[in-house]
Amino acid sequence: MRLDAWLAAAIADLSRSRAKALIAGGSVTIGGATIEEPKRPVKPGERVTLVLPPPVPAEPKGEVIPLDVVYEDDDLIVIDKPPGLVVHPAAGNHTGTLVNALIAHCGASLSGIGGVMRPGIVHRLDKDTSGLMVVAKTDRAHKSLADQFADHGRTGPLERGYMALAWGVPDRAEGTIEAALGRSSKNREKIEVKREGGREAITHYRVVERYGAKGKPPVASLIECRLETGRTHQIRVHLASIGHPVIGDRTYGSGFATKPALLPEPARSLAASFPRQALHAYLLGFEHPVSHEEMSFESPLPADISELSEALKAL
């Protein structure tokens, strides 16, 4: 029997869909190893452990938080998320999130859309990643947008583009990183490349600009990334896996912590003190769920990434 079905049968009041979500969230281990594949069969004699996440408030409340609204109509809203803003309430972040801001901005129209804790959310950005997001304001829009994101643009117009300032330069000017990802067995807060048992993850990249003194190897680069899948921390882990972590990424680029010391000022100080991963969702395209118009939005590099980029250009 597959793991999600086994858990649902073994635990009263646990639905199969809830079991599947708990497994995907890293809450289930077998023999001490975290399992994130709901289809994984349970074998006789195996010890299955489920650690339930802490309870969260029944319903998030609206909070007046400034939003950079790029586009809005009766069905959806596109916002340019600043770094530091958590998308939806979770353990440790019950207030001050994008969802709290959206509830205040959109009012009762978001109630019940996409689940109590994540009304209207069809995709997300990491807390310290800036850039474009679309949120559904009706059930019809939520279903259409969710289907588009689940398809990853393989058969439709969905497109997501990111700009990343990364250490070094990939050997190839453009290419594809195809490496399965899963939660780290050593640190559940981190994602890692998995040889077995991970979820398919594909990132297409293109080197936009190289930074470095003339006659010397480039020290950094501006890389455009396009997602064919949308896994947690995908771009950050994929770029780190090929030896070019995002500048400022203290989770996946800790081995490059001394790199800024090799730069002249002002790039040295800016890179050393950069407060987040230098990653920005600059492009978002999708089909409008009601009019079926193909919509596309672009966001320029935010001030902090732009300032670091200019300092690197001056090397």
Q: Assess whether the previous peptide bond of 53 is cis (omega < 30° from 0).
A: no
What is the crossing angle of helices 3-10 and 16-24, to 10°?
Answer: 120
Q: Which of 102-106, 149-153, 311-315 has the highest mean pLDDT?
A: 311-315
Other C-beta atoms closer than 10 Å to the C-beta of 264 total: 10
Predicted local confidence at residue 133, as pLDDT: 97
Predicted local confidence at residue 288, as pLDDT: 97
Tell me what the mean pLDDT of segment 207-225 comes to: 95
Write down the mean pLDDT value for the chain.
91
CA–CA gap between residue 82 and residue 79 (Å, rounded): 9
Query: Six-digit token pair at 72?
Result: 């809005």
- pLDDT band for 91, please (50, 70, 90 cuts): low
Predicted local confidence at residue 162, as pLDDT: 98
Provide the β-strand partners of residue 298.
283
CA–CA gap between residue 230 and residue 208 (Å, rounded): 22
Identify whether the C-beta of residue 79 lies closer than 8 Å to the C-beta of residue 95. no
Query: Six-digit token pair at 46?
Result: 């195996």
pTM (2 decimals)? 0.80
Predicted local confidence at residue 56, as pLDDT: 53
Identify whether the C-beta of residue 103 lies closer than 8 Å to the C-beta of residue 62. yes
- pLDDT band for 225, please (50, 70, 90 cuts): very high
- pLDDT band for 211, please (50, 70, 90 cuts): very high
234 or 8, higher pLDDT: 234
Three-state DSSP at 109 gives: helix
- pLDDT (tens digit per residue) in 112-140: 666 666 788 999 999 999 999 999 998 88
Residue 108 has pLDDT above 70, yes or no: no
- Considering the chain, what percentage of its residues have pLDDT values greater than 90? 69
CA–CA gap between residue 288 and residue 239 (Å, rounded): 31
Q: Assess whether the previous peptide bond of 83 is cis (omega < 30° from 0).
A: no
Q: 3-state DSSP helix/strand/coil percent for the chain, to nearest 5?
A: 25, 25, 50
* Phi/psi at 106 (5° precision): -95, -15
Tell me what the mean pLDDT of segment 47-52 comes to: 90
H or E segment to which residue 68 belongs? none
List of domains in the chain:
3-50 (3.10.290.10), 61-150 (3.30.2350.10), 162-280+307-313 (3.30.2350.10)
Residue 242 has pLDDT above 90, yes or no: yes
Identify whether the C-beta of residue 117 lies closer than 8 Å to the C-beta of residue 97. no
Predicted local confidence at residue 110, as pLDDT: 72
- pLDDT band for 46, please (50, 70, 90 cuts): very high
- pLDDT band for 53, please (50, 70, 90 cuts): confident
Query: Six-digit token pair at 168?
Result: 């070094």
Predicted local confidence at residue 112, as pLDDT: 64
Residue 87 has pLDDT above 70, yes or no: yes
225 or 89, higher pLDDT: 225
Residue 291 has pLDDT above 80, yes or no: yes
Predicted local confidence at residue 88, as pLDDT: 82
Locus of tokens 């990491």: 126
Other C-beta atoms closer than 10 Å to the C-beta of 145 total: 25
**Side-chain-facing half-sphere of 224: CA atoms under 13 Å:** 13
Which residues belong to the active site?
A: 126
Residue 58 has pLDDT above 60, yes or no: no
- pLDDT (tens digit per residue) in 160-170: 999 999 999 99
Identify whether the C-beta of residue 237 lies closer than 8 Å to the C-beta of residue 253. no
Running DSSP on this structure, what letter comes out for residue 108?
A: G
- pLDDT band for 55, please (50, 70, 90 cuts): low
Running DSSP on this structure, what letter comes out for residue 110?
A: G
